[in-house]
Amino acid sequence: MPQDIEFHIPFPARRSPDADRAVADHLAWPRALDMITTDEAARRHAKGNYADLATYFYPAATGPDLDLGVDLMSWFFLYDDLFDGPAGKDPVEAARLVAAVTAVFDGPEDPSAPLISRGLADVWRRTVEGMSADYRDRAARHWRDYLTGYVDEAAGRDGAEVVDSRRYLAIRRRTIGVLPTVDMAERTSHCEVPARVYETAVMSAMLQIAIDVNVLFNDIASLEKELAVGDPNNLVLILMRERDWTRERSIAHMQNEVRTRVDQFLLLETVLPGLYDALDLDAAERDRTDRFRTDGLRTVIRGSQDWHGSSGRYDAEFAVSVGRQAFLEDLGIRS
Three-state secondary structure string covering the chain = CCCCCCCCCCCCCCCCCCHHHHHHHCCHHHHHCCCCCCHHHHHHHHHCCHHHHHHHHCCCCCHHHHHHHHHHHHHHHHHHHHCCCHHHHCHHHHHHHHHHHHHHHCCCCCCCCCHHHHHHHHHHHHHCCCCCHHHHHHHHHHHHHHHHHHHHHHHHHCCCCCCCHHHHHHHHHHHCCHHHHHHHHHHHCCCCCCHHHHCCHHHHHHHHHHHHHHHHHHHHHCHHHHHHHCCCCCHHHHHHHHHCCCHHHHHHHHHHHHHHHHHHHHHHHHHHHHHHHHCCCCHHHHHHHHHHHHHHHHHHHHHHHHHHCCCHHHCHHHCCCCCHHHHHHHCCCCC
User: Range with the lowest mean pLDDT among 81-85, 172-176, 196-200, 322-326?
Assistant: 322-326
Stretch 90-107: mean pLDDT, rounded?
A: 93
- pLDDT for 282-318, tens place per residue? 999 999 999 999 999 999 999 999 999 888 888 755 4
Instruction: Please give the Cα distance from 263 to 274 (Å, whole number).
Output: 19
Residues 6+ apart with CB under 8 A from 289: 191, 193, 194, 197, 272, 276, 281
- Fold assignment, 19-330: Farnesyl Diphosphate Synthase (1.10.600)
* 163-167, 192-196, 287-291, 329-333: segment of lowest average pLDDT: 329-333
Average pLDDT, the chain: 90
- pLDDT of res. 85: 77
Give 61 or 313, the one with higher predicted confidence: 61
pLDDT at position 278 over 50: yes
159-185 mean pLDDT: 90
CA-CA-CA-CA dihedral for 284, 287, 289, 291, to nearest 10: -140
Digit-coded pLDDT (tens) for 102-128? 999 998 878 888 999 999 999 999 999
How many whole angstroms separate alpha carbon 155 and alpha carbon 177?
18
Question: How far, in Å, CA of 226 to CA of 303, rounded?
Answer: 22
pTM: 0.92
Provide the pLDDT confidence category of residue 232 given band limits of 50, 70 and 90.
confident
CB 119 within 8 A of CB 196: no
pLDDT at 1: 57
pLDDT in tens, 118-157: 999 999 999 999 999 999 999 999 999 999 999 998 887 7
How many C-beta atoms surround the C-beta of residue 192 within 10 A?
Answer: 20
| Annotated domain spans of the chain | 19-330
Q: Report the distance separating Cα 302 and Cα 293, nearest Å.
A: 12
Determine the pLDDT at residue 161.
62
